[in-house]
Amino acid sequence: MINALNRKSIMTLFADPMCHYSHRTRFILCEKSASADIEYIDSAELPEDLQELNPYGTLPILIDRDLALFNSRIIMEYLDERFPHPPLYPIDPVSRARSRLLIHRIDQDWYTLLDDVINAGEKKAAKAKKLLRENLIAALPLFEAHKHFLSDDFTLVDGVLAPLLWRLPFYGIELPKEAKVITEYIERVTSRETFQESMSKEEQDMLESYLLMAS
């Protein structure tokens, strides 16, 4: 822990190059145009000093001088407060609380299913794929209501959603034609320059391989 903290003079984000939780923190970091180093580490081979910083042994981990944070949601909220422009949470407390609740539901209802798709056994993964697809289709009216997710402006909610939705085709989750509004939303958000900047080389390679197979 001492080594990891002391050798960093500026903000550093330790992130897994393929992890969707790491990706969303990288996305927000780029949205904020924050001066920071991103160091890519395999989650399965976490160095001992980083394990001491996070008792759960997971990535991402953010170090800002003598502060060490883990949990992607906490890191994203910290970045939004640490770099207040542009603000990604609403200013008023009620709207901010609603956005936080929405992110919690996305994590509980959609991210946990994607976790099962990636990490669970074949039977459980297949069930998670079906359920995630159905849940997204049921949410079509929410995507139709505004340019971004329940807002006309890009918010932290979009920063949470984009890395998840971007990964759907890579794991065999195809949306039907009637879900075009979701496909258009994905294209709109992931075409942002900041999203492109946030992608690791491994994610870029994954995209190139998918496009090659789809052509």
- pLDDT tens string, the chain, 215 residues long: the values are 445 555 556 899 999 999 999 999 999 999 999 999 999 999 989 999 999 999 999 999 999 999 999 999 999 999 999 999 999 998 899 999 999 999 999 999 999 999 999 999 999 999 999 999 999 999 999 999 999 999 999 999 999 999 999 999 999 999 999 999 999 999 999 999 999 999 999 999 988 887 777 65
Phi, psi for 156 (deg, rounded to 5): -60, -30
User: What is the CATH superfamily name and number for domain 2-82?
Assistant: Glutaredoxin (3.40.30.10)
What is 93-214's CATH topology? Answer: Glutathione S-transferase Yfyf (Class Pi); Chain A, domain 2 (1.20.1050)
Query: Regarding beta strands 12-15 and 61-64, do their DSSP bridges make them parallel or antiparallel, or are they unpaired?
Result: antiparallel
Instruction: Report the Cα 113 to chain-centroid distance in Å.
Output: 14
Q: Where are the domains of the chain?
A: 2-82, 93-214
pTM: 0.93
> Which residues are part of the catalytic machinery?
19
Ramachandran area for residue 11 (φ above 0: left; ψ -120 to 50: alpha; else beta): beta
Per DSSP, 148 falls in state B
Q: Cα–Cα distances in Å, from 178 out to 99, 144, 213?
A: 27, 12, 24
Q: Which amino acid is at 124?
A: K
Task: Give the separation between CA 88 and CA 100, rounded to whole angstroms.
Answer: 11
